[in-house]
Structure 1
């Protein structure tokens, strides 16, 4: 597959993933707004913080390193060895589920059984759901590597719709079940994922489409682990060593990604009710980050990993491939920078109104608006970090990955310490400030690496971090106008004044978008030609 074909597939995959994440976040957004009116905030805190943390930790530590290693490189690998390596995620998941489940049951403070019943069985069922999802990991990697761009969208969409529908049904009809409601919905979600991937490959294997693309497997038995004929190793040991390097990095990255939940869970700096409110505000603030930035990072990691040789300097690679990678990196940086600035500017003035509409005084009073405002600034850092780390992780050598692990260790320790002390002094806002400081350090490292990587070349992709002066002026004026509008019109003056405040924001946003069209022509062309154009014949 040529570099241009990989880019086309990666951009299509990013577009589909954005659609998937939009659907997921909207459904979760509506589901949280609905369940807030039927269950206690303590129950939401246990489910969305503690139990979800158990599930995501088991899944992430069991598969993330395998994904990054097995999707690396331009050359063709022995796919049978890769499948054998990927099946190791299941026993690894069993070990993590047992170890972490024991911690969750016996070492952490259990919630009040009168307020949050069935905690013990819920821990076991969430661990089981993580193991169930790992059963489709070999199929997921195959789908990503061969750019089956619609499979992930369809599978996860069906699974999330099923989970949301079941949650609503059980919350309304049997709220006395407590945590069993969310356990049942979680098991349904992971079960649907496994069934969708299994059904797709059962249909695809041996089909004319598989033969046309010379798919490496022909039957279901080929997808199961095997010892082979003895002529080759059971697994690719080079990839296994790379997996171990990524595993050490993944462990630290998980602490940074879910650090505030670990602090809340293990150090008890917030009670379950406050944890529930923080999680709701956190989900609201991270909607755009998750449904735009994360899909871009996942999809273009595949692009950079396939176009550029890992651990090789620029002069040792094809000039056309490096030029394309540099152009894409610059445009991606400009794209996420613009989106992040828009969210920061408008999020500051509309946080209070958004929380009041979403959850009433339960969310809009107290620290809720301040927390959401801080998160809007944090989104800008998330945007830049996602793209810069996406590139650096794709081109780093194994030795560089190992060295980066040491820095991640220092960041993890500093983040936990900062989170603990800042939360004691500032409440839940301290979590966001600690995240901002650590994210800034990670961005600095990635920028230095990218600058060094392109130092002897004519390309300067980091120019993408510099918006045009016209756009900065438009954003500055919009910030001033919307802040003045919030002070004078919102949020205690009735719906008429609130609508006027929204109208002011709408006019300012339209002015900003118009400025982008006129001043950021290269970015607009990239979006139009790479992210929005449908390409026939590139999807399976």
Structure 2
């Protein structure tokens, strides 16, 4: 498949993912806001921090390494051996679920059953749900590798919406069930997610569409591991690459969820404070989930397909390198501008957003301060997602191994920094520690990209520098909306709040206008690839 065809499919995947994420998650957003008014901060802290950390840790450690290794481009890749390798995630997930489940039940502080009942049931349910989700892993990898545009988003969105509806209904009918409500909803979520993938491929295999796409599997039984007399059970080069990513996954998980590990194991915040922090974290990362994560996941597939891992640019096709440089530059410009807009408008609208979403429980106290600092973290998160998706797609196995040592240093410094800054600054300390470590990861990836393109005419890192007109308009918008908040929001009634929103909307329109007029190359990239109707028809 040529680089332009891959790019067309990838941008269609990313844009469709973003649109469907917004459409489906608006309902989820509203249902969660409703639930917050009926559930205590302590239960939210246990579910969203303690139990969710258990679930995400099991799933991440069991599958992340296999995903990265199996999606890496190789001209000698055998899908039979790849599927055999992917299935190793299931027994690995069972082992992690048992080990971590014992720690969560016997080592960590158990909450007061009078305030938070059924804690052990919650641990067992979240552990079971992680294993259920891993059963869909071969289907997920095949769908990503063949750029099935809407399957992933629709299945995840339907599962999330179902989980939210079940949670709301049970909260209203049986509020005394406590964690059992969230446990049942979590099991239904992962079961429905796996079922969507299985049913889709049961219909897809053997169809004319599968033949047209030259899909490598013919029957559902082909998704299961099989021995072959003509080749080894595993591709050992791919397996060792997975092992390299597996060693790295420990460190990446600490960097990704480090503040939750500190909260969980060191008890620096109460369960109630953990709940408020997690709500603000989720609200602040909406754009990251809607926009940045789909871009990162989709374009990791793109870079992996057109770049030969571990080879210099002189050893690769000129057309592929040129395309990768152009795409990387445009992506960096896109996420940098989105992140700067969030920083510029996040300061003046944090308190209003929290008041609308969760009432005085969130808008009073430290909530607005947390969300304002989090807007800066979102900017760093956006840049890091794009730079790392290119870096990990281009690195050789040896470079991945060396990067593990970098990750080890970052993990240790992050945990120490999170602990001491949280003692000093409370919840804000976690966000600042995240910003510091995310900045170091960006520096590492930027240096790698600079070395990768050294000696070539390509300069993709110029995408990190917005135009002067865009920066000036962002600065003016920050000042105007900041003054508007002081003058109009948020102690007055709704007429004053709506006036404050109107000021922000006008500033946002002017900012977007300045970006469109001054960033012509980015505008052309978005129009050609994200908004074009000429791309191939996807699933």
- Specify the TM-score bucket, using the shorter chain as the normaliser: over 0.9
Offset of residue 536 of structure 1: 5.3
Q: Which residue matches 1:199?
A: 199
Q: In the alignment, is the contact (CA less than 8 A) between 2:418 and 2:430 conserved in 1?
A: yes
Rounded to whole Å, the distance in 2 between the matches of 1:62 and 1:19 is 29
Q: Which residue matches 2:253?
A: 254
Rounded to whole Å, the distance in 2 between the matches of 1:535 and 1:135 is 35
Q: Which residue matches 1:132?
A: 132
Offset of residue 534 of structure 1: 2.9
Cα deviation digits, residues 189-242 of structure 1 (max 9, x gap)? 11111111111111111112222222211112211111222x311011101000
Alignment of 1:70-109 (within 5 A): 70-109=70-109
Q: Which residue matches 2:313?
A: 314
Offset of residue 41 of structure 1: 1.0
Q: Which residue matches 2:119?
A: 119
Corresponding residue SS for 1:476? helix
Alignment of 1:168-207 (within 5 A): 168-207=168-207
- Using structure 1 for the length normalisation, give the TM-score: 0.98
Q: Which residue matches 1:299?
A: 298
Offset of residue 455 of structure 1: 0.7
Alignment partner of 1:290 is 2:281: no
Cα deviation digits, residues 492-531 of structure 1 (max 9, x gap)? 1222222221111111111101101111111111111111
Cα deviation digits, residues 440-470 of structure 1 (max 9, x gap)? 1000011100011001110000110111111
Offset of residue 25 of structure 1: 4.3
Q: Which residue matches 1:509?
A: 508
Q: In the alignment, is the contact (CA less than 8 A) between 2:9 and 2:535 conserved in 1?
A: no
Rounded to whole Å, the distance in 2 between the matches of 1:40 and 1:14 is 36
Cα deviation digits, residues 124-167 of structure 1 (max 9, x gap)? 11000000000010011011111111211221122112111111
Rounded to whole Å, the distance in 2 between the matches of 1:64 and 1:27 is 29
Q: Which residue matches 1:427?
A: 426
CA separation of 1:21 and 1:258: change in aligned 2, threshold 3 A: farther
- Using structure 2 for the length normalisation, give the TM-score: 0.98
Q: In the alignment, is the contact (CA less than 8 A) between 2:326 and 2:460 conserved in 1?
A: yes
Q: Which residue matches 1:370?
A: 369
Rounded to whole Å, the distance in 2 between the matches of 1:367 and 1:493 is 20
Alignment partner of 1:347 is 2:336: no
Rounded to whole Å, the distance in 2 between the matches of 1:458 and 1:209 is 41
Rounded to whole Å, the distance in 2 between the matches of 1:26 and 1:214 is 36
Corresponding residue SS for 1:215? coil
Q: Which residue matches 1:216?
A: 216
Q: Which residue matches 1:49?
A: 49
Cα deviation digits, residues 5-46 of structure 1 (max 9, x gap)? 111111111112213432454344223211111111111110
* Long gaps (5+) in structure 2: none
Cα deviation digits, residues 456-490 of structure 1 (max 9, x gap)? 11000011011111111101111111111111221
Q: In the alignment, is the contact (CA less than 8 A) between 1:20 and 1:156 conserved in 2?
A: no
Alignment partner of 1:390 is 2:389: yes
Corresponding residue SS for 2:150? helix
Corresponding residue SS for 2:73? coil
Alignment of 1:327-476 (within 5 A): 327-476=326-475
Q: Which residue matches 2:68?
A: 68
Rounded to whole Å, the distance in 2 between the matches of 1:129 and 1:481 is 47
Q: In the alignment, is the contact (CA less than 8 A) between 1:310 and 1:394 conserved in 2?
A: yes
